[in-house]
Structure 1
Amino acid sequence: MPTICPKCRAVRPADTAAPDWQCPSCGVAYAKVGAGASAQPLASNRHIPPRSAGMPWGKLLLLIAVLYGAWVGFSGAGPKNLAEAGQNLSRSGHFGAQASAEQLAQLAARSQASDVLMYSAAWCSNCAAAKSWMAQYGFQFQECAVDTNSACASQLKSLDPAGGVPYLIVKGHHMKDGFDSDEFLEALTP
């Protein structure tokens, strides 16, 4: 029975001068290539089925999941814009899942300007956003501009050595980490 080299697949001729353990074509030792003591015999009717070119189901399912996520994200299931998202988040908390603009206006009407002191600066975009939110619902506040008033700047330094703005004091509660509407409403509510 003829012998086939496991490396180069050459058929060993019967009249070769190469030793029995070595392929006459590539010179490799049959045992080192993994064929054991002898190389594979030639199988005349041996059939190796071709690799199946079936559907890559894992990739298809991943694609469907990504497309579904994109559709949900862009379909309008969530807030239409970031301002609406901020309003919905800011109204949760003390008033329940969805405080109405009417409830916020009523709370603003009961509050006084002396209840809220805000240290701010003209260059601070977070300060502008906080002032805009409070004005939207009618909250009155006192403002101390640290960039134009040195007394305000020194007061803020004594309260917060880092001097970060906006810094609010709402009915004695210090909002050191900037403006948060939930924290603001909780501090303002009796």
Structure 2
Amino acid sequence: MPDPQELRDLDLQIFSARWCSDCRRLDRWLEAQGLAFPVVDLEAQPEAAQRLEQETGKRAIPFVLVKGRRWVPGYHKDLPTRFDPDRFVLEVLAAAAD
């Protein structure tokens, strides 16, 4: 089982919106882990939403930008719970290692 604290010192930005339930789920999980990262509010910054779509081909959120160059979804649409914390940590760590 990966340790979420391994994310603590990584350069991460969370792309999200207040109306997004998956975004709120990720935010609650990060908060429960004692982790905080800069949040890019896509409602307030429509150019960020355009960047997300151009670089990922996706409009779904949340997405996490790792080291300013790798995108990781903050949701798992294939799961009934839509989020697996262990899987998320592994995905972010893999993106950071590239």
- TM-score, with structure 2 as normaliser: 0.67
Question: Post-superposition shift, 1:148?
Answer: 1.8
Structure 1 residues 139 and 177, CA, compared in 2 at 3 Å: closer, same or farther? closer
> In the aligned structure 2, how far is the partner of 1:183 from the partner of 1:141?
19
Unpaired runs of at least 5, structure 1: 1-92, 96-103
Equivalent residues of 2:64, 2:72 under 8 A apart = yes
Q: Mean Cα displacement is larger for which, 161-170 or 131-140?
A: 161-170
- TM-score, with structure 1 as normaliser: 0.38
Structure 1 residues 133 and 149, CA, compared in 2 at 3 Å: closer, same or farther? same
The share of aligned pairs that are identical, in percent, is 23
RMSD: 2.7
1:94 aligned partner = 2
Structure ID, larger Rg = 1
Q: Which aligned segments of 4 or more residues in structure 1 are displaced greater than 3 angstroms?
A: 170-173
1:185 aligned partner = 89
Q: Is 1:146–2:42 an aligned residue pair? A: yes
Unpaired runs of at least 5, structure 2: 76-82
- RCO comparison, higher one (Cα < 8 Å, 6+): 2
Structure 1 residues 116 and 153, CA, compared in 2 at 3 Å: closer, same or farther? same
Matched residues, number? 86
> In the aligned structure 1, how far is the partner of 2:54 from the partner of 2:61?
13
More strand by percentage: 2
